[in-house]
Amino acid sequence: MKGRLGDASRALFRRPLARADAVANRLYGWRYNPLYQSGTLAVLGFVVMLATGLYLLLFYRIGGPYESMVRLEGQVWAGRWIRALHRYAADLAVAAAGLHALRMFLQHRSWGPRTLAWVSGLVLLFGTFVCGWTGYVMLWDEQALVLAVEGARLMDALPIFSEPQARAFVGERPIPSAFFFLNLFLHIALPVGLALVLWIHVSRLARPVLLPPRGLLWGSLAALVVVSLLVPAPLGPKAEPLSVPGTVELDVFYAFWLPASRVLAPATAWLLFLGFAGLLTLVPWWTRPPRGQRPAPSASSERLCTGCLQCSLDCPYGAISMLELAGELARRVAQVDPRLCVSCGICTASCAPMAVGPPLETGRDELARARAFANQRRPAALDVVLLACRRGAGRLAERDTVDGALVHPVTCAGHLHTSVIEFLLRSGAGGVLVASCPPRDCWGREGPKWLQERLHHGREAELRESVDRRRLGVVYAGEGERRVVLQALAELRRTIEALEQEPAEERVEVELECERPRAEAS
């Protein structure tokens, strides 16, 4: 029931997001696709907020908050657009964080050992909302008054204050400076606390990436600066408690709740908020698969492990450590911590002896499946075998053949052992095309990166040098990018056809060159 609830809610968003990913990939390429960088863009927004906030702090006066904002707006060269940049960076942080949470939810990356990241991410998001609320109230314009009054009305519903807080804003007496001091204090102190929560958020990652790649970083920053110059952040008329507010300009990223909250009784608003917050907090519980269907964590074989360290280096979650065995056969063996392992299977492809991996997903299991595939499908010299990642690759893993290519689905291209590729080529296939998710969108974080390293850069468990790289292709394609895979397939097929048409003598010569020393030796 719980798993089905998660699947049903995912089905709503997964396809539209896959389409959006495909469009963004066409425009920016997978490396700079902002939809793949939602987490790092949120951090970028946070960093810009901090930098611009320090500048704005120099001009803010708790004795005359609105007046200091008006003075700042008068600084055409710096103040006005820096305030706008501060605001739009705050909006970017919330929008990107929301998208990041949605992605993690859709990709089943929100339960098990990732629960800590999910819950701390929600704390980050909620903290950012509160920080934003204090920031808007600090301006003390009409929007600030509306937010302050509504916030106080909601707080008054809680049995914690002896005096109704909303009375502070009725116009009976001037708003005390202490109120603005408290706001300013919270506005500065909260980000410090959020930085700590961010550290917790990424603490289970071996190599957390906090900022987007340089091109996207500067591009996003440039877009924000241009918009800050073109569209200054609004500053409404000064808050006047003895006047009906009328129409104000609201920031939907931070005040989206206001229209609903104003028409609801405070108790109902609180119940709705707590219900929604509870639903989000319990996502790790209600989206995890039923007990029997949860992927098991990786395990290492003490018999096969050579203690080479590679799996512990490759694991994106720091779940593998090396255990020193005592006694006569003292050596190191890999040990997987099941509390940290997310069953991504990246370790499967880490070592030549295939000693680590989730049950039934080790390199040996992959090789056995490839053997069965080759026996059944019997690939010929002009055939291409498409090793399609089940999570992306234009959803081609669901098919038997694509455009004449034989499809062999793999759980994740990131834990594809190089021996599988070598075996398929040796079993007669003309070529192998690996269709993987784009690197920044890998469900196991670093799968495509390590795959490339193993295929082309000699990373441990590398593809043997004797394997002809011309017959091998790797293409990055998301769920909605079938076209990209088909293009790569056509290109590889052309290469193979060209290779097959090469004069046989030339090939014989090369083979003879290889065979000669052996023949001489014998």
Partner 1 sequence: MRVLAAAAVALGLALALALCSRLPFAVETRDDARIRLSWRALPERIEECREPSAEELAKLPPHMRRPRICEGRTLPFLLQVTLDGETRLDARIQPAGVRGERPAYVFRELRVAPGEHRLTVRFAAQPDGPAPQGLRAPLVLEETVRLAPGSVLLVTYDPDTDRLRIRTSG
- Binding residues for partner 1, rule: CB under 8 A, are 26-28, 34, 84, 87-88, 91-92, 95, 146, 162-164, 166-167, 170-172, 219-220, 223-224, 226-228, 230-231, 233-234, 240-253, 255, 258-259, 262
In our burial notation (b when 16+ CB lie closer than 10 A, e otherwise), range 291-327 reads eeeebebbbbeeebbebbbbbbebbbbebbebeeeee
Q: Tell how strand 401-402 and strand 331-336 pair up.
A: unpaired
DSSP annotation of 339: T
Q: How far is the CB of 239 from partner 1 (least distance, A)?
A: 11
- Stated as kind and residue range, the H or E segment containing 74 is helix 65-74
Contacting residues for 66 by C-beta, under 8 A, at least 6 apart: 139, 140, 141, 238, 239
Find residue 389's DSSP bridge partners: 410
Find residue 431's DSSP bridge partners: 384
Q: Which two tokens stand for residue 455?
A: 């295929």
Which residue's CB is nearer to partner 1, number 255 or number 451? 255
Q: How far is the CB of 33 from partner 1 (least distance, A)?
A: 10
Class of residue 448 by CB neighbours under 10 A (exposed 0-12, middle 13-18, buried 19+): buried
Which residue's CB is nearer to partner 1, number 216 or number 429? 216
Q: How far is the CB of 151 from partner 1 (least distance, A)?
A: 14
Which residue's CB is nearer to partner 1, number 166 or number 200? 166
Q: How far is the CB of 99 from partner 1 (least distance, A)?
A: 12
Which residue's CB is nearer to partner 1, number 41 or number 341? 41
Whether residue 52 contacts residue 82, with contact meaning beta carbons closer than 8 Å, is answered with yes
DSSP annotation of 295: P
Find residue 436's DSSP bridge partners: 476
Which residue's CB is nearer to partner 1, number 142 or number 361? 142
Which residue's CB is nearer to partner 1, number 56 or number 420? 56
Give the Å distances, CA to CA, from 169 to 142, 145, 163, 323: 12, 8, 13, 63
Q: How far is the CB of 148 from partner 1 (least distance, A)?
A: 12
- Between CA 340 and CA 135 the distance in angstroms is 37
Is 196 strand, coil or helix? helix
Which residue's CB is nearer to partner 1, number 137 or number 340? 137
Q: How far is the CB of 72 from partner 1 (least distance, A)?
A: 17
Which residue's CB is nearer to partner 1, number 222 or number 380? 222
Find residue 141's DSSP bridge partners: 238
Q: How far is the CB of 9 from partner 1 (least distance, A)?
A: 25
Which residue's CB is nearer to partner 1, number 111 or number 140? 140
Q: How far is the CB of 262 from partner 1 (least distance, A)?
A: 7
Whether residue 474 contacts residue 454, with contact meaning beta carbons closer than 8 Å, is answered with no
Which residue's CB is nearer to partner 1, number 23 or number 508? 23
Q: How far is the CB of 178 from partner 1 (least distance, A)?
A: 18
Name the CA dihedral angle for 166, 167, 173, 179, rounded to a multiple of 10 degrees.
Answer: -40
Can you give the C-alpha Rg of the chain in angstroms? 29
Give the Å distances, CA to CA, from 107 to 135, 208, 381, 443, 472: 33, 18, 37, 7, 28
Query: How many degrees, rounded to 5, is the angle at CA 99 between CA 415 and CA 487?
Result: 50
Q: How far is the CB of 95 from partner 1 (least distance, A)?
A: 7
Distance of CA 395 to the CA centre of its chain: 20
Which residue's CB is nearer to partner 1, number 196 or number 223? 223
- Amino acid letter, residue 267: A
Q: How far is the CB of 223 from partner 1 (least distance, A)?
A: 4
